């Protein structure tokens, strides 16, 4: 059985990138390069200016895409298809994580600022193609990304989630604050993957872990048959 403090959870929500695979895989380095190239080509600028624009939009709008849409009318499907056209050789299935997710009771969802097509490719490579009951992506958020509270509200409405019975796992501490405000149990994967300045405030973090496979294996150990 799960630890007593978690037995009320019936919906387990997971961020994708740097959460369901190690941050050391650094897929974002590949995506970053594609983003910079896209901005160079779209805005007709050099790589340094493109990188500055990219990071500025991420900081100010939540995602680079959100900034490009608002400031330049970029088509989200065009952008996401381009930047996610990367090789996934850096990641592989973790048998512990696959088994532990299978033991979790209740629904399991992925909540990502990426798009569904990319998320499905990553989950397939991780051996998790059939591990989740649903996926809430940037399109479903109406391009209002985490950590905007509206993204969380839309997810809860779409999937009929009771926040008081939900748990959210995320590698970016700032993305946990809106979940906690709704009443969710929050888990921060403190693996050094933060991509924006953020304070990990204990007020909105219930569990601080280093590895999702280790933690899920530990809390579900009593459910092994």
Let me know: does 193 contact 167? Beta carbons within 8 Å: no
Mean predicted lDDT score pLDDT of the chain: 94
Task: Report residue 63's pLDDT band, with 50, 70 and 90 as the boundaries.
Answer: confident
Q: Which two tokens stand for residue 101?
A: 């997710």
Task: Report residue 225's pLDDT band, with 50, 70 and 90 as the boundaries.
Answer: very low
Question: Quick one: average pLDDT of 66-89?
Answer: 96
Could you tell me what percent of the chain has a pLDDT over 70?
96
Sheet holding 107-111, edge to edge: 134-136, 107-111, 11-14, 166-170, 185-189, 207-209
The single residue listed with the structure tokens 């059985």 is 1
Question: Quick one: average pLDDT of 132-147?
Answer: 94
List the domains of the chain with CATH numbers: 4-23+92-223 (3.40.50.1000), 27-83 (1.10.150.450)
Q: Which two tokens stand for residue 18?
A: 């740097």
Question: Quick one: average pLDDT of 111-140?
Answer: 97
Q: What does the pLDDT look like over 157-198, one tens digit per residue?
A: 999 999 999 999 999 999 999 999 999 999 999 998 865 445
What is the C-alpha to C-alpha distance for residues 149 and 1, in angstroms, rounded to an integer? 32
Let me know: does 52 contact 205? Beta carbons within 8 Å: no
Q: What does the pLDDT look like over 31-58, one tens digit per residue?
A: 999 999 999 999 999 999 999 999 999 8
pLDDT exceeds cutoff 90 at 224: no
Task: Report residue 154's pLDDT band, with 50, 70 and 90 as the boundaries.
Answer: very high
Could you tell me what percent of the chain has a pLDDT over 90?
88
pLDDT of the residue at 122: 98
pLDDT exceeds cutoff 80 at 199: no
pLDDT of the residue at 142: 93
- Strand stretches in 3-151, DSSP E: 11-14, 107-111, 134-136
pLDDT of the residue at 67: 93
């Amino acid at each position: 059985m799960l630890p007593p403090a978690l037995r009320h959870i019936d919906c387990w929500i997971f961020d994708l990138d740097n959460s369901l695979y190690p941050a050391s895989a650094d897929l974002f380095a590949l995506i970053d390069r594609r983003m910079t190239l896209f901005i160079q080509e779209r805005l007709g600028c050099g790589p340094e200016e493109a990188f500055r624009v990219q990071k500025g939009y991420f900081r100010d709008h939540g995602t680079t895409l959100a900034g490009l849409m608002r400031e330049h009318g970029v088509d989200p499907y065009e952008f996401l298809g381009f930047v996610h056209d990367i090789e996934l050789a850096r990641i592989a299935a973790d048998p512990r994580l696959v088994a532990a997710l299978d033991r979790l009771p209740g629904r399991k969802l992925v909540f990502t600022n990426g798009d569904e097509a990319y998320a499905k490719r990553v989950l397939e490579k991780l051996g998790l193609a059939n591990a989740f009951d649903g996926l809430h992506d940037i399109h479903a958020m109406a391009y209002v990304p985490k950590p905007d509270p509206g993204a969380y509200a839309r997810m809860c409405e779409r999937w009929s989630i009771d926040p008081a019975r939900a748990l959210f796992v995320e590698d970016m501490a700032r993305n946990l604050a809106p979940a906690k405000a709704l009443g969710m149990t929050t888990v921060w994967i403190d693996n050094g993957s933060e991509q924006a300045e953020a304070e990990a405030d204990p007020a909105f973090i219930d569990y601080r872990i280093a590895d999702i496979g280790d933690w899920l294996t530990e809390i579900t150990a009593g459910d092994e048959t």
